Chains A and B, each alone.
Chain A
C-alpha cells in the first residue's frame, strides 16, 4: 500500500512559527522505507512528539515522517536492564511500564513526553549530566534507515562513525527505527532532594562545584530578573534516588501497590484549552512569579519528592506552551566551557536582566565531559536555559546573545533553537565538517532536510 501524506500545519514546542508540512504517519515498520522511496516529497525529516522548541522537526513544504505509532517494546532483559524498543516509544511509556519493575531512565529531560528517536537525535541531557553524560551513553545500538533506504545497525563499536553522526544529528542521517538502551535501577518512585537557596551566582556556582558530585541529579532555578548584587540568585535542587528501604512507613503501602501493578499512570492532569492572551506573560507578571518563587523556597535538606514532581513539574499541564499565547516563545539554551563559564554566565544574565525581557523559567546546571556525538550539545562547564516570550526585537537580541556566547567559547542547543544564524552555528560546532561529510555519504541524493537544517545550512 502506498503511504499517504497529509498536509498539516505544525509548530515546534515554542509555537514560534507555524509551518505547512506533508506528514506521513507509518503504522508499520515497513511503511517508513516505502515513504522514503515513494518520491512523493522533495525531502524528509523524522518527527517525534514535537518537543523540540524550534524547527528541528519541521520541514516546510516537505515531508515529515511521524513514527509515533512505531512505539513497541521489542525486548527487555530483567537482569541487565537492557531495553530494545522502537523509535516512537515515549520516555513516559518506559517509565510507566518499567519503573514499577525497578528501572528508570538513565537520562531524563525536563519532560517525559519525548520519543526515544528524538532523545537520540538531539542527544539529550538530564540533571545528571555532570555524572552520567548524555542519553547516547546509554544507547547500546540503534537501527538506522538511511536516506537511500539501507538498514544499518550502528553502535559505538560498529558503524561507529555513523552512530556518532546520528547521535545529536537532528534526524539528518535518516530515520532511527529502533534502539537498545540500558535503563538504570531505581527501586522507588521517589527522590531525596536537598534545596539550597543561593544568594547570587557566585554562591550558586560555588555550591555546585563543591558538592554536585554527591548527587545523582543537580539543577538550579535562577531568578532571571535579579540584577546587581543578587544577580543569579537561585534555588539549587539536588537529589538522589530514594532507596525503597528508606521510605517512611506511610509510603510502603503505595510502594507495594506499585510493585504489584504492571504500570503507573503518567498522563497529564490538566489541559489548557485555549491560548492565554499573548501579553499574559509580560515582564511584570513574570517578574512577580520569579520573586514569589524565590521567596517561597527555603534551604532545606532531605525532602522526599515524587519523581514526577522532581523531574517533570511541567508535565502536569498537558500543553503549558499555550501559556505564551499566539506569539509563542523561544527557549534559548547555551553551554559555556568551564574556564570562561562563570564570566559568560554573568555577562549573559546581566544582559538579560537589563533587557527587561526576563525569562519565566531559567535553569542553570553544570555539564560534565562532552561526548563523541559530532553535533552533540554539551560542553564541560555550564548550561543555561531561558524561556523568552516572542516579541518585537527578539531576534536581534538573541543574535547579540549568540555573539556573547561565541565569545566565551560556548554554543546554542539545536533542539531548542529557532533563531540562530548559519555563520554563528558553524563557529559553535567545530566538528560540523566531519558531520557534513558523513551525512553526504549517507544521503548523496539530498533527500533529508528540515527547516532547521536549511536555516543553519547544516547540510549542503
Chain B
C-alpha cells in the first residue's frame, strides 16, 4: 500500500490529515518529537482503518539530528513512500517573543529554518526517486505581516517563498510541491484565543488538503475563501495598512 510520512502528526491539522490518509488506505509514518503521543495515535489509526502505522522520532528544532532522523523515516517508508507532509509548526507567544529573544528565535527556527531544512532532505529523497509529492503547511499569516504575529508571519512568508523555489526545482524531476495556506483552524493554535471568525474544523482542513494533494495542486488556501480574503488584505496600500490594528 502507498505510504505517506507526516511530520507533526500528533495534534491539530496533522492528526486530522493522518486520519484522512488512513481512511483512504494509506499506510503511515507519523513523525514528531512526542513519541508517546504518536504511538497512541498510531495504534488508533491502525485499529480504525486497518492500515499499518509507525511512529518515529523527529525534532524539527534539533538541526543536528534532523537530517539523520528524517533519513531513517524515508528508509522505513521504502519504495512505497509516496509523499511527505510537513504539518509541524509553532505559533508561539508573540507577546512573550517581544521581550524574550529565545522565544522569537524559536518561532523563526521552527517555522522557517527547521521547516526548510526538513524539506531539503525530503526534496533530495524524492528528486532521486523521480516521483512523489511534498506538501507543507504555510499560513495565510505569511501573505502579509501584521503587528499581532509578524515573526510567525515572516517565517511562514519565507516558507511560502522557499516552496515556490522548491516547486520550480522539482517540476522536471516529477515531484509535486503543494503549498497549503490555512486560515483559522480549530486547533490549539486557535483555541482560547477569543472568538475568531470563520474557524474551520481540522477534519474539514484535512479533507481540503488531501484533495489538493491528490489533485496535484500548487497553492491552496484552506478553506478556499481565504484566497479572496487575503487578496483584499494584500490589496490594502501599506500607507493605510500600517495604521490598522491587526
Contacts and interface: CB of A to CB of B under 8 A. Distances in A.
A and B: real partners?
yes
Interface of A: 4-6, 23-25, 27-30, 69, 72-76, 86, 97, 262-263
B70 to A, nearest CB: 23
Contacts of B10: 27-28
Contact of B43 (A6, A74, A263): A74
A73 B37 CA distance: 13
Contacts of A75: 43, 47
A72 B12 contact: no
Which 10 residue pairs are nearest across A and B when measured between Cβ atoms?
A: A6-B192, A72-B44, A4-B192, A27-B11, A73-B47, A73-B44, A28-B37, A27-B188, A72-B40, A97-B48
Nearest to A85: B44
8 contacts: A6-B192, A6-B193, A73-B47, A75-B47, A76-B47, A97-B48, A262-B48, A263-B23
Interface residues of B, number: 21
Contact of B191 (A25, A30, A97, A262): A25
B226 to A, nearest CB: 23
Given A29-B36, A76-B47, 10 more contacts: A4-B188, A4-B191, A6-B193, A23-B192, A27-B188, A28-B11, A29-B37, A72-B43, A75-B47, A86-B40
A98 to B, nearest CB: 9
Contact of A73 (B12, B34, B43): B43
A5 B192 contact: yes
Contacts of A30: 36-37
Interface string B177-194: 000000000011001111
Contact of A6 (B11, B12, B36, B191): B191
B47 A27 contact: no
Given A27-B12, A28-B11, A73 B48 contact: yes
Interface string B14-41: 0000000001000000000010110011
Contacts of A74: 40, 43-44
A4 B192 CA distance: 6
A262 B46 CA distance: 12
Nearest to A31: B188
Nearest to A28: B37
Interface of B: 10-12, 23, 34, 36-37, 40-41, 43-44, 47-50, 187-188, 191-194
Given A28-B10, A28-B37, A73-B43, A262 B50 contact: yes
B7 to A, nearest CB: 16
A103 to B, nearest CB: 12
A277 B34 CA distance: 49
B102 to A, nearest CB: 15
Contacts of B12: 27
A72 to B, nearest CB: 4
Contacts of B43: 72-75
Nearest to A4: B192
A29 B40 contact: yes
Contacts of B49: 262
Contacts of B11: 27-28, 69
Output the residue of B44, B187, B193, B194 with the most chain A CB within 10 A. B44
Nearest to A96: B48
A97 B47 contact: yes
Contacts of A24: 192
A238 to B, nearest CB: 33
Contacts of B50: 262
A30 B187 CA distance: 17
B14 to A, nearest CB: 11
A76 B48 CA distance: 10
A76 B50 CA distance: 12
A72 B41 contact: yes
Contacts of A4: 188, 191-192
Which of A5, A23, A25, A72 has the most chain B CB atoms inside 10 A of its CB? Answer: A72
B48 to A, nearest CB: 5
A234 B61 CA distance: 66
Contacts of A262: 48-50
Most buried by B among A4, A23, A69: A69
A156 to B, nearest CB: 25
Interface centre among B37, B48, B50, B193 (most CB of A within 10 A): B48
A262 B47 CA distance: 10
B34 A28 contact: yes
Contacts of B188: 4, 25, 27
A185 B199 CA distance: 40
Contacts of A25: 188, 191
B40 A263 contact: no
A9 to B, nearest CB: 11
A5 B40 CA distance: 24
Specify which of A27, A29, A97, A263 lies most central, judged by the most chain B CB atoms within 10 Å of its CB: A27
A24 B12 CA distance: 15
Contacts of B192: 4-6, 23-24
A5 B37 CA distance: 21
A306 B75 CA distance: 48
B127 to A, nearest CB: 34
Which has the most chain A C-beta neighbours within 10 Å: B40, B187, B193?
Answer: B40
A72 B53 CA distance: 14
A23 B194 CA distance: 12
Nearest to A6: B192
B213 to A, nearest CB: 21
A4 B44 CA distance: 26
Contacts of B36: 29-30
Contacts of B40: 29, 72, 74, 86
Given A4-B188, A27-B188, A263 B48 contact: yes
A97 B23 CA distance: 12
A4 B23 CA distance: 31
A28 B40 CA distance: 10
A121 to B, nearest CB: 22
Contacts of A23: 192
Nearest to B11: A27
B23 to A, nearest CB: 8
Contacts of B193: 6
B197 to A, nearest CB: 16
A263 B51 CA distance: 14
A77 B108 CA distance: 46
Contacts of B34: 28
